[in-house]
A and B are shown apart, each in its own frame.
Chain A
Amino acid sequence: MKYTIEQILSGEDELILRYQRLNTEVEAVLQFMNAPAKKLIGTKNDTQAVIDFADVLYAETVDRKTFIYTADDVFRTELTLAQLEEVLNTVNFFRCSKSMIINIDKIATLKSLASNRIDAALINGEHIIISRTYASEFRKILKGESVDE
């Protein structure tokens, strides 16, 4: 992507992004531009939408495509789950499996399952299973303990 930086002597600072198609690179810049506002860009039926971090219930990768789920909608994003994890780099979001990131604030109740797994019931009634690989880290986060990388 070509970019131009220009210093101006008067007027308001401005950032203009010109693109033909929304791709990973463009979306990463958009995410960066929206970062202070804690917003994401998602697409639904070829229409772009701005999604508040606070509205995200969880994000999931299915067949190498990443989807963002809110209470009412599902949006596609060009970002990979790892890139999304970096963008959503707040304490509220937790990688609960290889293919999923969950918003802890949107969990209604938790249930302890056999083999140290955890069933998280979201506020919209959906259930997400946190496998034992991720469960111990999840417990530490809930307790506010630091987690080793």
Chain B
Amino acid sequence: MSKMRNFLEQYITRKIGAEIKCCLTFLLILCFYCVYRWGNGFTEAGIIHMLEMVWAAYILEWVQMLVHCDFDEADRLGLREWIMIVCGSAVYAVAGHLFGWFDGNTAVVLGFGAYMIVAYLCTFWVYAIKRSIDAKMLNSDLKKFQERNNK
């Protein structure tokens, strides 16, 4: 029962993590898409395009999680992480090109790829800052624990 509970807890934790990342990635893509559309004089966005973005983000984030390539959560940016960031961004750029999110404009597709690289780097730094704050809190709790037990 306890094993089953642990398994479910781990699964739910991973699922929530993947869903949050999927939402974040979708928002990042949508933001670039909307700015592009607005810059070209359009004030509406394609529902089909948005569905494609959600599915692209969902599939890629799950693949990333299932193959244990959480490069945006890595402790440091090594060669492997850089390769994964560039590859992940390239997949989104190719998806954008194939689904016609940017009307087949190659320059914009390349700009979108670069934007996704920056977005991944920002996500990496946000996670690094979060871990740094968490470590401070953990060490503060550890100190209090040790003081409490050595009284």
Contact = CB atoms under 8 A, between A and B. Distances in A.
Interface stretch (B23-31, B37-45, B49-57, B140-148): B140-148
Interface in A74-132: 91-92, 104-105, 107, 109-116, 118, 132
Contacts, number: 54
Chain A contact residues (Cβ within 8 angstroms of B): what range? 20 to 34
A139 interface: yes
Interface string B129-148: 00110110011011011101
23 contacts: A92-B149, A104-B145, A104-B146, A105-B149, A105-B150, A109-B139, A110-B138, A111-B135, A112-B138, A113-B75, A114-B73, A114-B75, A115-B73, A116-B13, A132-B10, A133-B6, A133-B9, A141-B145, A142-B138, A142-B141, A144-B144, A144-B145, A144-B148
Interface of B: 6, 9-10, 13, 17, 70, 73-75, 127, 131-132, 134-135, 138-139, 141-142, 144-146, 148-150
Given A111-B131, A132-B10, 8 more contacts: A112-B134, A112-B135, A113-B75, A132-B13, A139-B138, A142-B138, A142-B144, A142-B145
Interface of A: 91-92, 104-105, 107, 109-116, 118, 132-133, 139, 141-144
